[in-house]
């Protein structure tokens, strides 16, 4: 409509000179190009992808996965329609010696596809040939191998791992409180300390600590309590120790059995310095290019070893399967290796991650959609949608198994701690009842009130009269 208006005004002006004619042609060209771009935005985009679990998978006649969900969210934000086709040659994007691109990158370069939505690593070579958006996922290079070939180094305090820190603190508090209860009960109960004025209390605080420690080590330490209240406290503590040691040795045995193998491969240096375990990576991948172009001596040895042995694999599934069979370490993208670890509990990924990079969506070079896609990806990241998709498609079936090896927390032993508290409280209460019973009988003999006799008894017992001082006084008088 604007072009037609401009043409009409031009014809009415009847000023046909070169300057006006050139301006008309330029203005009409811009308007037609703008119209063509807007029409292209309404057309159906052709998207190329590749089958890789969980990015793109077949479900009947349709495709599903992380990349399909990501593509759907981007289409909603930018308002475009699309049709997804699998890449014909089954390759991600590699360049031959003549500079020709194959795989999904090649289809975008040749114009066979408008977008490539897959775990395509952002590299300098690809950035020169096509447009690549902001990364929708961060990854790196790591090692996948069987769990029996990779385990943590044992530490000096691994014997404490069966219990959590809060559990150990709870056990220490229970030990001190129990020793204190032994000391209090031995002072209050007349069966333990009948004559506080003349007798020495055998169950002092130090002996109470020693007695509780003896029970904690299943060795025992005398003398043992004689009163009912003292025996109640003692039996309760023995039961607590029995359950505690049972839980400790059960967890310690499980931890040692799960980590019984010594670490053979901790990182890429260990991998490069041995010839027992075979290793390789995906042929024609960016991981292979990383080791090929690296100046690190260890990485160069890894690349030369893979070239010499021709230990490359043609697909991610083949690499995971060889790692499961044993005596093979698969080098690949850490995100993809995490998925394999989540699916197969006998596999583990090394902690070392090198060559951090990102996965991006590919567009033709100079495409006007590149910036819009990048902005939409950043918006999905800021809203938490990308994190949700990651948790959705990377759900691990091995989480229950790994939870078993975790340290036993105090919450799991609340019952036995509660039983100990009840037993200690009952022992102290019985010692008070025993003292009250003796005070009542003495009150009847002395014809005094029970409260006065009881307060006098409590004063003698809690004052902690030292027998040695009372014995030193007559000796000095005789001298």
Closest Cα to residue 243, out of 171, 160, 159, 158? 171
User: Which element (helix H / strand E) includes 251?
Assistant: helix 228-258
**Could you give phi then psi for residue 466, rounded to 5 degrees?**
-85, 120
Q: Which residues pair with 163 in a beta bridge?
A: 408
Q: Which residues pair with 380 in a beta bridge?
A: none
How many angstroms separate the CA atoms of 280 and 328, rounded?
Answer: 8
Please indicate if the annotation marks 300 as binding a ligand.
Answer: no
In Å, the largest CA–CA distance within the chain is 147
Token pair belonging to 249: 């040795």
Length of the chain: 479
Please indicate if the annotation marks 287 as binding a ligand.
Answer: yes
| Cβ-proximal residues to 462 (8 Å cutoff; 6+ apart), any chain | 187
Q: How far is CA 233 from the centre of its chain?
A: 42
Closest Cα to residue 247, out of 416, 45, 55, 389? 416
User: Which element (helix H / strand E) includes 464?
Assistant: none
> Is-contact 328 278, C-beta < 8 A?
yes
Please indicate if the annotation marks 255 as binding a ligand.
Answer: no
Residue 115 is given by DSSP the state E
Closest Cα to residue 407, out of 53, 195, 170? 170
How many angstroms separate the CA atoms of 404 and 398, rounded?
Answer: 10
Token pair belonging to 235: 């039996």
* CA distances from residue 392 to 16, 54, 58 in whole angstroms, order as listed: 66, 10, 17
Strands (E), 17-122: 44-49, 57-59, 62-64, 81-86, 115-121
Please indicate if the annotation marks 286 as binding a ligand.
Answer: yes
**Could you give phi then psi for residue 85, rounded to 5 degrees?**
-130, 145
How many angstroms separate the CA atoms of 35 and 303, rounded?
Answer: 51
Q: Which residues pair with 349 in a beta bridge?
A: 144
Closest Cα to residue 396, out of 349, 434, 455, 458? 349
Please indicate if the annotation marks 121 as binding a ligand.
Answer: yes
Please indicate if the annotation marks 20 as binding a ligand.
Answer: no
Tell me the pairing of strands 328-333 and 347-349: unpaired
Closest Cα to residue 67, out of 104, 111, 94? 104
* CA distances from residue 19 to 23, 25, 31, 32, 459 in whole angstroms, order as listed: 6, 10, 19, 20, 118
How many angstroms separate the CA atoms of 142 and 356, rounded?
Answer: 10
Binding residues: 119, 121, 126, 286-287, 333
Binding residues for L-glutamate: 119, 121, 126, 286-287, 333
């Amino acid at each position: 409509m604007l072009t037609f208006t401009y043409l009409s005004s031009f014809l009415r002006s009847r000023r046909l000179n070169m300057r006006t004619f050139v301006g008309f042609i330029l203005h009409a060209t811009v308007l037609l190009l703008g119209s063509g771009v807007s029409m292209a935005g309404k057309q159906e985009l052709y998207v190329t992808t590749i089958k890789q679990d969980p990015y793109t998978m077949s479900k009947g006649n349709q495709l599903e996965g992380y990349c399909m969900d990501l593509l759907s969210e981007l289409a909603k934000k930018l308002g475009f329609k699309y049709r997804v086709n699998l890449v014909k040659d089954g390759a991600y994007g590699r360049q031959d010696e003549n500079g020709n691109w194959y795989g999904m990158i090649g289809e975008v370069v040749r114009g066979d596809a408008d977008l490539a939505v897959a775990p395509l690593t952002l590299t300098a070579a690809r950035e020169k040939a096509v447009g690549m958006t902001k990364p929708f996922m961060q990854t790196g290079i790591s090692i996948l191998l069987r769990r029996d070939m990779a385990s943590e180094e044992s530490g000096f305090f691994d014997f404490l791992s069966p219990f959590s820190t809060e559990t150990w603190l709870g056990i220490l508090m229970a030990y001190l409180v129990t020793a204190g209860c032994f000391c209090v009960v031995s002072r209050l109960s007349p069966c333990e300390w009948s004559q506080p004025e003349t007798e020495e209390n055998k169950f002092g605080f130090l002996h109470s600590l020693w007695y509780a420690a003896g029970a904690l080590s299943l060795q025992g330490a005398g003398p043992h309590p004689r009163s009912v209240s003292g025996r109640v406290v003692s039996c309760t503590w023995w039961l607590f120790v029995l359950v505690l040691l049972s839980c400790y040795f059960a967890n310690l045995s499980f931890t040692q059995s799960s980590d019984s193998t010594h670490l053979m491969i901790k990182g890429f240096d260990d991998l490069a310095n041995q010839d027992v375990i075979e290793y390789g990576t995906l042929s024609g991948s960016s991981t292979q290019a990383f080791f090929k172009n690296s100046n690190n001596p260890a990485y160069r040895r890894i690349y030369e070893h893979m070239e010499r042995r021709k230990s490359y694999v043609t697909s991610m599934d083949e690499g995971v399967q060889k790692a499961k069979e044993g005596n093979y370490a698969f080098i690949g993208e850490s995100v993809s290796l995490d998925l394999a670890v989540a699916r197969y509990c006998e596999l583990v990924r090394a902690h070392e991650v090198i060559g951090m990079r990102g996965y991006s969506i590919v567009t033709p070079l100079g495409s006007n959609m590149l910036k819009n896609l990048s902005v939409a990806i950043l918006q999905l990241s800021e809203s938490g949608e990308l994190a949700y998709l990651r948790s959705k498609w990377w759900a691990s079936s091995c989480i229950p198994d790994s939870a078993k090896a975790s340290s036993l927390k105090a919450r799991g032993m609340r019952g036995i701690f509660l039983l100990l508290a009840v037993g200690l409280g009952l022992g102290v209460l019985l010692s008070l009842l025993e003292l009250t019973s003796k005070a009542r009988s003495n009150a009847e003999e002395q014809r005094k009130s029970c409260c006065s006799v009881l307060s006098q008894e409590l004063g003698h017992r809690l004052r902690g009269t030292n027998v040695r001082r009372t014995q030193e006084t007559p000796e000095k008088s005789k001298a």
